[in-house]
């Protein structure tokens, strides 16, 4: 028997909002979180801007022992997890004993690896931090969340590049609806704002170099876009079976109704030009949710602001939605947050749920001159109030990973 799965809690650390209230306000007002890099001297790099999570002080938010033994990507995930659990009012103790944690990352502790490798090269073996390996591995955020929250059910981390957040939420969705657990913390995290990582993306010609206009640099679907803006962050959702949420009197924010996944099998970094993998994932998510294309109100687009993704995604949306494509509102959260890589889809899942809760469709900012190949309604520059009934959230990653979620408004 398949159980219906609902969302009862949200947590987020994003460049334009630390915590759900600040993030929600920034989305509604079209506020960018992109600014010049402050964590190190970026003057030698071609791209010198990023979506750093402002005001994030792990020492003020987490126990000192945890901070000492974790990388920033784990710290971001843990703060988002604590917020989501508090939002869901899921009490500690027995209520969490069989709660799953499915939280992944695209890269892991890249910044710590870079720092400690420099120490190794300079000082030799046995001189760098002894906990480096457990601190940087991709599954450690999920492990630390379990240690710090008492969620001791299934614990795992999926990694699928920029689709990571949706892959983890979809996997947790399957665990809950299959009855393997009744509650799951699901999402993803990333923090790779480091010189080596940024230069690597620069060498792929993937990043915007609009350094003199940080807030205007991420411009999905715009004719003058020149690449994505790297960012960091985390997003975590509390998922529960509908019956479990009802038994404990939890407030239901939305229903997670469908999940679809596919592979392009095409190229290391470029999407299939025909968008065939994206189309299959979107159609699979709709079928899983039992919804027709006309039931979707909003598509939260992958919307990276890169020359290849934006028109490819537009064509895929048109193929899936047919005549209904013209009635869709298509929003690009990355226009405000930047591209948080493995964390992006989880942050965007939070934004999707907020659209259902608030009836506010956030804008795609910096969209003054649309690319002629991008001809949908991208909600340019200003938020809209709308009767939002269902949201599809797209995520497509390097390696051709595609993962799509469908959220639907909670039944009163």
Q: What angle do CA 331, 328, 355 make, to 5 degrees?
A: 50
Give the 3-state secondary structure of residue 214. helix
Q: Are 165 and 188 in contact (CB under 8 A)?
A: yes
Q: Are 2 and 178 in contact (CB under 8 A)?
A: yes
Q: Are 31 and 336 in contact (CB under 8 A)?
A: yes
Compute the half-sphere exposure of residue 255: CA atoms within 13 Å on the CB side of its CA.
19
Tokens 């971001």 -> residue: 76
Q: What angle do CA 345, 219, 269 make, to 5 degrees?
A: 55
Give the gyration radius of the chain's Cα atoms.
20
Rounded CA separation 17/353 (Å): 16
Of residues 388, 397, 343, the one with CA closest to residue 52: 343
Q: Are 138 and 343 in contact (CB under 8 A)?
A: no
Tokens 């009836």 -> residue: 359
Q: Which one is catalytic: 13, 151, 158, 162?
A: 162
Rounded CA separation 412/394 (Å): 26
Q: Catalytic residue at 151?
A: no
Give the 3-state secondary structure of residue 326. helix
* Residue 315 burial (CB count, 10 A): 18
Structure tokens at 265: 């099998």
Distance in angstroms between the alpha carbons of the first and the last residue of the chain: 23
β-bridge pairing 233-241 and 35-36: unpaired
> Which residues are the active-site residues?
162
């Amino acid at each position: 028997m398949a159980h219906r799965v609902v969302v009862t809690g949200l947590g987020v650390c994003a460049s334009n909002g630390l915590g759900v209230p600040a993030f929600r306000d920034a989305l509604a007002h079209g506020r960018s979180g992109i600014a010049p890099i402050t964590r190190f001297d970026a003057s030698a790099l071609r791209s010198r801007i990023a979506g750093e999570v402002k005001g994030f002080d792990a020492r003020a938010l987490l126990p000192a022992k945890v901070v000492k033994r974790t990388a920033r990507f784990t710290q971001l995930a843990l703060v988002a997890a604590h917020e989501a659990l508090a939002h869901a009012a899921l009490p500690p103790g027995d209520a969490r004993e069989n709660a799953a944690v499915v939280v992944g990352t695209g890269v892991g502790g890249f910044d710590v690896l870079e720092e400690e490798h420099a120490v190794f090269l300079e000082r030799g073996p046995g001189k760098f931090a002894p906990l480096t390996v457990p601190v940087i591995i991709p599954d450690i955020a999920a492990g630390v969340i379990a240690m710090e929250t008492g969620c001791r059910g299934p614990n795992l981390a999926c990694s699928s590049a920029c689709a990571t957040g949706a892959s983890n939420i979809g996997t947790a969705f399957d665990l809950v609806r299959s009855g393997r657990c009744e509650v799951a913390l699901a999402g993803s995290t990333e923090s790779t704002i480091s010189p080596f990582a940024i230069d690597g993306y620069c060498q792929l010609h993937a990043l915007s170099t609009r350094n003199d206009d940080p807030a205007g640099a991420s411009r999905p679907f715009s004719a003058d876009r020149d690449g994505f803006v790297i960012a960091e962050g985390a997003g975590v959702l509390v998922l529960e079976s509908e019956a479990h949420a009802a038994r404990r009197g939890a407030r239901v924010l939305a229903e997670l109704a469908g999940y679809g996944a596919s592979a392009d099998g095409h190229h290391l970094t470029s999407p299939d030009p025909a968008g065939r993998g994206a189309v299959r994932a979107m159609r699979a998510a709709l079928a899983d949710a039992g919804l027709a294309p006309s039931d979707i109100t909003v598509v939260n687009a992958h919307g990276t602001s890169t020359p290849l993704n934006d028109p490819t995604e537009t064509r895929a949306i048109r193929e899936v939605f047919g005549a209904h494509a013209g009635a869709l509102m298509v929003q690009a959260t990355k226009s405000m947050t930047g591209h948080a890589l493995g964390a992006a889809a989880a942050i965007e899942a939070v934004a999707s749920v907020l659209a259902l809760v608030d009836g506010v469709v956030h804008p795609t900012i910096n969209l003054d001159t649309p690319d002629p190949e991008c001809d949908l309604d991208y909600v340019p520059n200003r938020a809209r109030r709308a009767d939002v009934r269902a949201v599809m959230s797209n995520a497509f990653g390097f390696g051709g990973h595609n993962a799509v979620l469908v959220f639907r408004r909670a039944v009163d």
